[in-house]
Structure 1
Amino acid sequence: MVEEVHLDPQRTWCPTADCQTVCHIAASEPRAPVPVECPACHLTFCSSCKEAWHLQHLCQENQPTPVPTEQGSLIGTETEAPIKQCPVCRIYIERNEGCAQMMCKNCKHTFCWYCLQNLDNDIFLRHYDRGPCRNKLGHSRASVMWNRTQVVGILVGLGIIALVTSPLLLVASPCIICCICKSCRSKKKNHSPPTT
């Protein structure tokens, strides 16, 4: 259902965090924003940017953009905003405090709260080691190092298990096959009709 709505140009999700109703978009010129009214909460929002309907403004003018400073950090209200939209499905997400690594409950996309960069493949959280989001994860350096150690430990453990079990399975496979064959033969003997 989620994929169907995302792929359908005539439907969209209500951007209200508590609502999540499927709304129908009226036919219009290609890519022309139109007002959409949610049938459940009656919010009227823009079909293009999902903000409150703004007849007099273009969508780009309606959304503030972060401004990079000389040091590469971001300034302005957007970086400190408590509510932002998921960069993939555009659903509203609220962050009160805690970790800056966010996962959207709607589409399961993982991203950085500050710059909205994709973190789906960043299992070591290297994004917070450099750039404008350096040291903004919301955890101590020791906590981040412990997390990385755990991830490496899990990967090494899985590798050792694979190395140890591979030869054992190779050695045991003839015995397993033999046992299966014996059990098959015994079942055939039990089910075969008596000969006269």
Structure 2
Amino acid sequence: MAQCASCYFVFCLYCRMVYHGVQPCRLRPGEQRAIRDEYLSATPAAKQAMEKRYGRRTLQLLVDESLTQDWMQENSKKCPHCAISIEKQDGCNKMTCWRCGTYFCWICLVALKASGNPYQHFSDPRSSCFNKLFEGAEELAEDDHEFRRVLVRALPHLSHRSRPRLCLA
């Protein structure tokens, strides 16, 4: 805690925001990834200092959330209509958004015609996705098994509240 000599404003020495007592400093969106990286590579003493400043739970949630965001960015795409994240598990490249029902192309993210033939996009020689309806379908099946192996190894590191429930049949 510090106090300005001119206006007597009381603020936190770490974050320079209004004094928040024993509550951990709030993290600005731009600094979250840097703090996560610093925390993950810190020595035990440095981790303890960071936990004192930001709070252990806050840092653990930050790590879990940023790892989830990284995974989402690498393995999902946004619906061109409602922008919800969609994960393709298998099948062809004609996708249907689970939220709004929009048909779209997984490759180029163009919304496909709901009336008529949504597959026309893949059979039009002028389309950049011509004859690519099933492109990448076999690769996804192999990637799915690898993802499951990676996820099973990562599960012990996730807190029980953020751990996904899986059926690994």
TM-score (norm 1): 0.29
Higher relative contact order (CA 8 A, sep 6+): 2
Structure number with the higher helix fraction is: 2
Query: Going by fraction, where is strand more abundant, 1 or 2?
Result: 1
Larger Rg: 1
Compute the TM-score of the two structures, normalised by the length of structure 2.
Answer: 0.33
